[in-house]
Structure 1
Amino acid sequence: MKGGCHCGAVRYEVIGEPFDADFCHCRDCQRTTGAPVGVWADFKAEQFHLLAGEIKEYASSEKVRRGFCANCGCSLSYRHTDYPQYFTISITSLDDPNVIAPNYHIYTDNQVKWMPINDELKKYGRSRNKSG
């Protein structure tokens, strides 16, 4: 699967299937993507290959790095420094975002009220690792 930013300066490919994928309704995802929900796919770091350009990272918290194109600002990746073996990509940055479907919703406590969740996927009020 290949993908990239809006302007085309950053291009990447991921080999194989993600081990997980989710809708994230947290305020950080809302603010950094400019959308009511972030949509992410989790891969092992070795599955991700940068083909062109470079992903600029922003420390949105002490341990979280959010990647974007320095030219067009497109949100591309998410990385937690405690888990360097994983690399998360924005599903909507894929050339064909229909190839990966999220498995669950997280941080639904922050879900915007004007966009109801109308699917049967599991919903977690906070992270999946905590009560939801």
Structure 2
Amino acid sequence: MSQVELLQGGCLCGAIRYQVSGTPFDADHCHCSQCRKSSGAVLVSWMDFHREQVQWLQGQVTEFASSNDIRRGFCQQCGCSLTFRHLSYPQYTTLSIASLDQPDRVQPTYHI
């Protein structure tokens, strides 16, 4: 039997921690204007999981409605960008690759 890969991560100040089981089913670099503005960077690297793969270990993400269908999650204490959520796809959780303890373990496969 193979062992399930576990990835852990969290926000800059450590108030929010999470763990994901398995590998993401998708990973990308997003260059859209909202990702650029919300991060203050030229792109944001995201990884997508089925919601049941994600376990929140500590703290709670605060969400901002950046449009009618999109919620962007961040730490209320340090402002670290952590999640992207599309209301039409409640079965998925999208996490910032940069929030991983070991972000080099996930490689985006395309740009949007």
TM range (shorter): over 0.9
2:19 maps to 13
C-alpha distance in structure 2 between counterparts of 1:42 and 1:29, whole Å: 15
Please tell me the residue identity of whatever aligns with 1:29: C
1:109 maps to none
Residue deviations 1:52-105 (CA, integer Å, cap 9, x gap): 000000000000000000000000000000000000000000000000000100
Where does structure 2 lack aligned partners over 5 or more consecutive residues?
1-6
Please tell me the residue identity of whatever aligns with 1:70: Q
Question: 27, 36, 40: which one pairs with 1:30?
Answer: 36
1:96 maps to 102
**Residue correspondence of structure 1 range 101-112 to structure 2 within 5 A:** 101-106=107-112
Following superposition, the deviation at residue 34 of structure 1 comes to 1.1
2:4 maps to none
Give the aligned CA root-mean-square deviation in angstroms: 0.4
1:114 maps to none
The count of corresponding residues between Structure 1 and Structure 2 is 106
Following superposition, the deviation at residue 8 of structure 1 comes to 0.3
C-alpha distance in structure 2 between counterparts of 1:41 and 1:15, whole Å: 13
Would you say 1:78 and 2:78 are equivalent positions? no
The structure whose RCO (Cα within 8 Å, separation 6+) is larger is: 2
Identity of aligned residues (%): 56
Q: Which structure has more strand as a fraction of its residues?
A: 2
Please tell me the residue identity of whatever aligns with 2:68: E
C-alpha distance in structure 2 between counterparts of 1:48 and 1:61, whole Å: 24
TM normalised by structure 1 equals 0.80
1:46 maps to 52
Between structure 1 and structure 2, the one with the greater Rg is: 1
C-alpha distance in structure 2 between counterparts of 1:34 and 1:15, whole Å: 29
